[in-house]
Amino acid sequence: MKILFHSIGKAKKIEKADDNHKWEWKTDYQLDSLFHGLRSVLGEDLVDTPEFDHMYKENLGLLHKDNPKRFTLFGKIDACNVDRHDILEKVEKKYFDYVILGLHHADEMDDEDLREIELFKKSKLAIIHGGDNGTYNKELLKYGPVFKRELYEDPNDKLYPISFSIPKELIVNDVPEKKQSFGTVIPSFMHQPSFAKTYIFENEEDYLNDYKKSLFGLTFRKGGWDCLRHYEILASGCLPYFWDLQECPAHTLKWLPKSLLLDVMRLPHVEVKTLSIDQEKFNFSLYGDLLLSCIQYTKERLTTEFMAKYVLDTIKKIY
């Protein structure tokens, strides 16, 4: 099975970026996590255009020159021997079984992007919309199934949920030793002073190890409901303390173990305002049961490979 994974709008955005940020502009967490899964499942049968070279081990240093705090998804994949020549000619000749079009920075989609989509309209198409907003251009639905990350309406035969995911190799096998109540990072919007004060980690290992030694990792909605931080916390053997999860739309964060995480929020003797717990009264046994359930769930349903197989299986059923 040959799959084309093409990023709509990516080339022009990179071209417009200044020289110090071209690698940073290649990133898009929804497309990057799906690419990681598709490459893991399909190998060289996945053709990516423009090339997802910012994901390669050999290019991690170039990405980190633009943004040294790009963790988790990047630098995990070896470069692949993929033929990216004559793509539109191959599309015309039905060389690819399916074409997946990822909207690069989807909330910025414009008419030029729609014209680019038109080039692929005779293929068996699927569209990935990973934008932070719940809105999207309804014109997309005429081309094929749309997989929407921030999905605020009911799915149907043309509209499907999707979410971020995490490389399986980052998921712990055992419960790490706990040394602190909450992780160091306190997420906030860019204009809030606490953002800069707590985002102190300069490398992935230190960042994830901080969650591993923590009972809880604080997280909540930022630009959109989905965020790599949710998955980083879970993969590290830490429980997300998801501040406003009860307000999340039903079909957004579709695969996050919401019921388990709401149980986490109900654990007594946790004082989130001071980021502390009452050591004498806290139920460590119940905490341990919840954590083991979350680790197992993360292994089964939150990996990049799981999400890639879900997208592929859904497309096959449609066509």
d(CA 258, CA 242): 9
For residue 146, CA distances in Å to 128, 138, 142, 143, 241 come to 6, 10, 9, 9, 31
Q: Tell me the mean pLDDT in the region 39-59.
A: 97
- pLDDT > 90: percent of the chain: 90
Q: Tell me the mean pLDDT in the region 296-313.
A: 99
pLDDT of residue 196: 66
Count of beta carbons in the 10 Å neighbourhood of residue 230: 23
Q: Are 254 and 163 contacting, i.e. CB atoms less than 8 angstroms apart?
A: yes
Give residue-wise pLDDT tens across range 206-262.
999 999 999 999 999 988 999 999 999 999 999 999 989 999 999 999 999 999 999
Cβ neighbours of residue 30 closer than 8 Å, sequence gap 6 or more: 102, 106, 128, 130, 149, 162, 164, 226
Mean pLDDT (the chain, rounded):
95
Q: Tell me the mean pLDDT in the region 6-21.
A: 92
Q: Are 181 and 168 contacting, i.e. CB atoms less than 8 angstroms apart?
A: no
Q: Greater confidence, 103 or 19?
A: 103
Q: Tell me the mean pLDDT in the region 164-178.
A: 98
pLDDT of residue 197: 83
Confidence of residue 72 (pLDDT cuts 50, 70, 90): very high
Q: Tell me the mean pLDDT in the region 120-128.
A: 98
pLDDT of residue 191 exceeding 70: no
Q: Tell me the mean pLDDT in the region 26-31.
A: 97
pLDDT of residue 192: 60
Q: Tell me the mean pLDDT in the region 9-13.
A: 93
Our CA angle for 218, 56, 239, nearest 5°, is: 15
124: helix, strand or coil: coil
pLDDT of residue 190: 47
pLDDT of residue 270 exceeding 60: yes
pLDDT of residue 273 exceeding 90: no
Closest by alpha carbon to 103, among 9, 29, 223?
A: 9
pLDDT of residue 188 exceeding 90: no
Cβ neighbours of residue 95 closer than 8 Å, sequence gap 6 or more: 2
Confidence of residue 113 (pLDDT cuts 50, 70, 90): very high
